[in-house]
Structure 1
Amino acid sequence: MRMPASVAAIALALIVGAAAGCSSPNSDGSAGPNGTTHDSPPSQAHPTLTASKLQPPVQDSRFSDPGRRDVVVDPCTWIDDSTIQSAGFDPGSRKRGNDIVAEYTFLVCQFNSSTRLMTIESGNVSLDEVRQKYTGQTRDTKVNDREALITSKSGDTCSVDMRTDVGYLGITFLLTNQGKESLKPCDGIIETANKIEPSIGKGK
């Protein structure tokens, strides 16, 4: 039996509407007709840990030096759990350290393992300033392809500081009582830095 023209028109409209609703997002990543967007590749975005207690302080202080830039890389929200675990530390121990927003700015995060405590800080202080502060205690090194300094400090502490566009990202090891039994302060710090350095990102 032949379908009336009005019914055929309605059926055709429904088919066209359904096809439009199922169309895929535009190739440029903008929203498609159904409001969905094309997900960017994970490599294009930094992992962000959203717990409120992990968020960095606002870098707007009357004590800030206007001649120094804001710190970009925040170690507590830029470095994901898998990276911390691969470095031998417990991601569940992640906590903010004593951030400083004043003449100099330092964003700080801390992690634990059975043998070491690790502090990661990101600051708007240059490597040259680090050299001057620890004259005679530093030596030049490389972390992946990034310029860095390794500093043997007093006691059971060792640091490696990597140049960033704003200043540096530093990793400090402090041996626990258990660690003192088998490790020296700088043991493994470059290997750890090599794993964490990619989290900084290119051009950062």
Structure 2
Amino acid sequence: MGGWGRTALGAAVIAVASACGPAPTTVVDDSTTGAATSTTRAPRIVDDSGRPDITFDPCLDLPDEVMSAAGYNAAHKEFADMPMGSYTFLGCEYNKPDLVPGVRRGYGLNVLSGNVTLDEELKKNADVAIPTTVNGRPALREVGPSGNDECTYALQTSFGIVLFNRLYNKDHAGPVARDEWCAGMEEFMASVEPYIGDSP
């Protein structure tokens, strides 16, 4: 995981649940039309930094069917929130349990939605970050931000960034080829990008 995640995990991971619950929304009855209207959900955590509130919650706003279709176990996703005072990340952990004995043990995926900017992320991981786009959205691709077998995409949003950090859990002796660390991530990112909201 990139520098934000290392710093945040080293300081505090305050909430881990065995599964994320349904999105807490408020429904308002419009008496003139009889229609029900959903309001925007308040973020689970806010900080005193003056940074924007995080409006995308990875455990609540990524559809389970999309994550399941990608092979991740949405039934066992876990909250992993990181309030740091000067910035915040709302996190969600997934596993991709596609064991292939002697080949791989599957992937671990952390999705972190934070109110830091894409420029801040680039400065933090400039040695491994390459500017790119996902479905036209400004993004960074980071190969090995915290070590071997790791791939991260940082996507720009109106409040900051969403990080998708995947760890390849190998099931064989010797190293995983570097060109495999991000294998399949481009297609996966294209499938989840529409759910994270507008970019500025």
TM-score exceeds 0.5:
yes
Indicate whether 1:175 and 2:168 are aligned: yes
The structure where strand makes up a greater share of residues is 2
The aligned counterpart of 1:151 is 142
For residues 112-151 of structure 1, the aligned pairs below 5 Å read: 112-114=95-97, 115-151=106-142
Instruction: State how far apart, in whole Å, the 1-side matches of 2:64 and 2:170 are.
Output: 25
Conserved 8 A contact 1:59-1:101: no
Indicate whether 1:58 and 2:42 are aligned: no
The aligned counterpart of 2:190 is 194
Q: Identity of aligned pairs, percent?
A: 27
Instruction: State how far apart, in whole Å, the 1-side matches of 2:194 and 2:39 are.
Output: 12
The aligned counterpart of 1:14 is none
TM-score by length of 1: 0.68
Aligned residue for 2:75, secondary structure, equals strand
For residues 40-79 of structure 1, the aligned pairs below 5 Å read: 57-60=44-47, 64-66=48-50, 68-79=51-62
The aligned counterpart of 1:185 is 181
For residues 84-103 of structure 1, the aligned pairs below 5 Å read: 84-103=67-86
* CA distances 1:6-61 after superposition (whole Å, capped 9, x unpaired): xxxxxxxxxxxxxxxxxxxxxxx8447xxx93356xxx988x8xxxxxx964314x
Instruction: State how far apart, in whole Å, the 2-side matches of 1:145 and 1:129 are.
Output: 20
Unaligned 5+ residue runs, structure 1? 1-28, 49-54
Aligned residue for 1:37, secondary structure, equals coil
Instruction: State how far apart, in whole Å, the 1-side matches of 2:91 and 2:43 are.
Output: 9
Report the RMSD for the aligned CA atoms in angstroms: 2.9
Aligned residue for 2:93, secondary structure, equals strand
Instruction: State how far apart, in whole Å, the 1-side matches of 2:156 and 2:49 are.
Output: 20
Aligned residue for 2:123, secondary structure, equals helix
Q: Residues 162, 45 of structure 1: CA spacing in aligned structure 2 closer, same or farther, 3 A cutoff?
A: farther
Q: Displacement, 1:166?
A: 1.1
Q: Which has the higher contact order (CA 8 A, sep 6+)?
A: 2
Indicate whether 1:81 and 2:64 are aligned: yes
Q: Residues 83, 136 of structure 1: CA spacing in aligned structure 2 closer, same or farther, 3 A cutoff?
A: same
Aligned residue for 1:176, secondary structure, equals strand
* CA distances 1:54-97 after superposition (whole Å, capped 9, x unpaired): x964314xxx322x112111111111111111222111121101
Find runs of 4+ consecutive structure 1 residues off by over 4 angstroms: 179-183
Match of 2:158 among 159, 165, 185: 165
The structure where helix makes up a greater share of residues is 1
Bigger Rg, structure 1 or 2: 1
Q: Displacement, 1:98?
A: 3.8
Unaligned 5+ residue runs, structure 2? 1-28, 98-105
Conserved 8 A contact 1:57-1:99: no
Instruction: State how far apart, in whole Å, the 2-side matches of 1:38 and 1:188 are.
Output: 42
Q: Residues 65, 202 of structure 1: CA spacing in aligned structure 2 closer, same or farther, 3 A cutoff?
A: closer
The aligned counterpart of 1:11 is none
